[in-house]
Chain A
Amino acid sequence: MRRSRALWAGITAVVFAVIPLLTRDTFALRVVTEAMMWIGLAVAWDVLGGYTGYLNFGHGAFFGLGAYTTAVLMMRGHWPFALALAAGGVLAGAAAVVAGLPTLRLKGAYFAIATWALARAVQQLALVLEFTGGPDGMRLPPFLNPQFFYYLMWALVSVIFVVLWILLEHSAFGLKLQAIREDEEGAMALGLKPTTIKIQAFVLSTVPAGILGGVYAYWITFIDPASVLGDLVTDQSVVMAVFGGLGTLVGPAVGAVLIYAFKTFFWAYLSEYQVLYLIILGTVIALSVVFLPDGLIGLLTGRGRAEAPRSPEPADENPPELREAAP
């Protein structure tokens, strides 16, 4: 099954690669470019959210950090784009280490709150600082070449996906993350250092977000605290990953495409009913959390992330501590 999944991922990459050869329509290119960006953001979020079980509600802060780093270095420091982009990724990763050291010791819900607060703090910082342009945001030098951004996004998202695939599905690292997600104390007994491993996962999750933020800034040529540091980036990444299927990489990628397509369709053809978009989206998410805890991918493959026993033995249902308490 893993082999066939890899095959599908390869086919998908090729399909995305030939799209610009088939159409010159800039709107279409733009839509697909952004769809690929969301794939990258959703799978990166899945490293921590799905594989490690830590819900990062500040994903957008790392995206925004990359966007602002790229913008500031290009505009104020006159750095070339590629270097500024790399710096954005590095800074996002460094921020994850600093933020993760205290917060990744917390239990899941507290981590979610801490990252959410961190994102709000970073947004406020961008609003009040001078070199970020405050509420007016920043303009970048226009580089109007849709094909360039298309292929840049394609290449980056492909690399992100392949690197994560190898690290999470084929190397020891992915297995360690899942062990920590399932039982941190039990994992410690086996020689794993949970905090160190979780910080590594956080970095692995945020560096791609920072890099994608940098590309986004140069591509759209204008960023402000609302667009790149608002809730939207986080919310959509989370929703795409949950809807697609946590802890699978493929699931979040599929979720990203479907949800982004739905959103684009809505905005392009039903713009009068925009208010309905969030209502429908919210309903779909609520339903999928309740009825599809393993996401779409769980539905398609019939094997979820955390499989419940198909035929639990009745005698096993009492937790051992209860049984021992009995006389």
Chain B
Amino acid sequence: MSRELLAVDQVSMIFGGLRALDDVSFSVGSGEIVGLIGPNGAGKTTLFNVVSGYCRPSRGRVRFDGKDVTGQRPFHLARLGIARTFQIVKPFAGLTVLENVTVACLLHHPRRRHARQKAWEILEFTGLAERAGRPASGLTLAGRKRLEIAKALSLNPRLLLLDEVVAGLNPTEADRTIELILNIHRSGVSILIVEHIMRVIMNISDRVAVLNYGAKIAEGPPQQVAQDPGVIEAYLGEAAA
């Protein structure tokens, strides 16, 4: 594994009586694509919220590029180079697609005019340029998921957290999104991706971590994880294992 970029160290997240994350440790190396999978409610999105600063973990530390960033607010982490998308997409519905991306570009281009120029480049790269002038609320689901990626990419991140950006798309759209993710990766961005669709995770991940009931039950190369009895049991029930 190459140099460690993100390290999640014994993180637990407790909501009242619910242990959403239970002593989870894993890491993302510089230049890696790490897949995060697990059944519904396994804690994947909670882990994303911890890493991106939306939740402060009850226990444990998060390190980014060697620095302890546990509990730092999302806007600080965005500045440090952690960008995320939301599973339940969050377009600025009343703004146009271009304006949505321009807001994100303001992080590194504080003047609105410069940010707008940069936003055009991002829209070209993500294939949204044709829809630049449309209100974001008018986009299809595929468009809105793509807009999430475009906004995250505008932050010029070193680590990109993708939360189910492929789920819900038809096969053509899914292929285009996977291609986009691989292009982003080639430009030097490390990626942590949560996805339900196994085909996606197995094809693009260097490593896969599996969560079940808040705990990490397996980690390793995709093929190895797919054959892990514990993983099969978590997905298909005991009988199948």
| CB interface residues, B 163-210, toward A, < 8 Å | 164, 167-168, 196
Write out the residue numbers on chain A whose beta carbons fall within 8 Å of the beta carbon of B115. Answer: 172
Cα distance, A16 to B99, chains bound together (Å): 34
Write out the residue numbers on chain B whose beta carbons fall within 8 Å of the beta carbon of A171. Answer: 112
| CB interface residues, B 58-83, toward A, < 8 Å | 73-75, 78-79, 83
Scoring B residues 132 to 146 as 1 if CB is less than 8 Å from chain A, else 0, what string do you get? 000101101100000
Given A191-B75, A191-B155, A320-B168, verify A176-B88 contact (CB < 8 Å): no
| CB interface residues, A 129-179, toward B, < 8 Å | 170-172, 175-176, 178-179
Contact between B75 and A319, CB atoms less than 8 A apart: no
A25 contacts the other chain (Cβ, under 8 Å)? no
B100 closest partner in A (C-beta): A179
The distance from the CB of A234 to the nearest CB of chain B, in whole angstroms, is 25
B104 contacts the other chain (Cβ, under 8 Å)? yes
B139 closest partner in A (C-beta): A309
Scoring A residues 298 to 322 as 1 if CB is less than 8 Å from chain B, else 0, what string do you get? 0000000111111111011001110
Contact between B78 and A176, CB atoms less than 8 A apart: no
User: Contact partner of B107 among A186, A190, A319, CB < 8 A?
Assistant: A190
| CB interface residues, A 176-191, toward B, < 8 Å | 176, 178-179, 181-183, 185-191
Contact between A189 and B137, CB atoms less than 8 A apart: no
A-B pairs under 8 A by CB, number: 112
The distance from the CB of A247 to the nearest CB of chain B, in whole angstroms, is 8
Scoring B residues 108 to 128 as 1 if CB is less than 8 Å from chain A, else 0, what string do you get? 001110010000000000000
Contact between A309 and B112, CB atoms less than 8 A apart: no
Contact between B140 and A186, CB atoms less than 8 A apart: no
User: Contact partner of A306 among B100, B107, B110, B137, CB < 8 A?
Assistant: B137
Contact between A175 and B94, CB atoms less than 8 A apart: no
B170 closest partner in A (C-beta): A315
Contact between A313 and B107, CB atoms less than 8 A apart: no
Contact between A306 and B86, CB atoms less than 8 A apart: no
Contact between A190 and B155, CB atoms less than 8 A apart: yes
Write out the residue numbers on chain A whose beta carbons fall within 8 Å of the beta carbon of B90. Answer: 183, 185-186, 189
Q: A185, A189, A191, A312 — which one has the most chain B CB atoms within 10 A of its CB? A: A189
Write out the residue numbers on chain B whose beta carbons fall within 8 Å of the beta carbon of A321. Answer: 88
Total count of chain A residues near the partner, CB < 8 A: 36
Given A188-B74, A191-B75, verify A179-B83 contact (CB < 8 Å): no
B236 contacts the other chain (Cβ, under 8 Å)? no
Given A172-B111, A315-B141, verify A191-B79 contact (CB < 8 Å): yes
Write out the residue numbers on chain B whose beta carbons fall within 8 Å of the beta carbon of A179. Answer: 92, 95, 100, 103
A188 closest partner in B (C-beta): B74
Write out the residue numbers on chain A whose beta carbons fall within 8 Å of the beta carbon of B75. Answer: 188, 190-193
B106 contacts the other chain (Cβ, under 8 Å)? yes
B223 contacts the other chain (Cβ, under 8 Å)? no
Cα distance, A170 to B84, chains bound together (Å): 28
Given A172-B112, A320-B87, A320-B168, verify A182-B95 contact (CB < 8 Å): yes
A324 contacts the other chain (Cβ, under 8 Å)? yes
Write out the residue numbers on chain B whose beta carbons fall within 8 Å of the beta carbon of A186. Answer: 86, 90-92
A76 contacts the other chain (Cβ, under 8 Å)? no
User: Contact partner of B78 among A189, A305, A323, CB < 8 A?
Assistant: A189
Write out the residue numbers on chain B whose beta carbons fall within 8 Å of the beta carbon of A185. Answer: 54, 74, 86, 90
Cα distance, A63 to B112, chains bound together (Å): 32
The distance from the CB of B140 to the nearest CB of chain A, in whole angstroms, is 5
Write out the residue numbers on chain A whose beta carbons fall within 8 Å of the beta carbon of B164. Answer: 320
Write out the residue numbers on chain B whose beta carbons fall within 8 Å of the beta carbon of A178. Answer: 92, 94-95, 99
B14 contacts the other chain (Cβ, under 8 Å)? no
Contact between A172 and B106, CB atoms less than 8 A apart: yes
The distance from the CB of B7 to the nearest CB of chain A, in whole angstroms, is 21
**Would you list 12 pairs from A and B whose C-beta atoms are within 8 A, ordered by A residue?**
A178-B94, A178-B95, A179-B95, A179-B103, A183-B93, A188-B73, A189-B83, A190-B104, A305-B94, A309-B137, A312-B138, A316-B141
Q: Which 7 A-B pairs have the closest CB atoms?
A: A186-B90, A306-B94, A182-B92, A191-B78, A309-B138, A191-B107, A188-B74
Residues of B within 8 A of A (CB): 40, 52, 54, 73-75, 78-79, 83-84, 86-95, 99-100, 102-104, 106-107, 110-112, 115, 135, 137-138, 140-141, 151-152, 154-155, 164, 167-168, 196
Residues of A within 8 A of B (CB): 170-172, 175-176, 178-179, 181-183, 185-193, 247, 305-313, 315-316, 319-321, 323-324
Q: Apart from A185-B86, A188-B54, what 20 extra A-B contacts exist at CB < 8 Å?
A: A175-B99, A178-B94, A179-B95, A179-B100, A183-B93, A187-B92, A187-B103, A188-B78, A189-B151, A190-B75, A190-B78, A191-B155, A306-B93, A306-B94, A306-B135, A310-B138, A320-B88, A320-B164, A320-B168, A323-B168
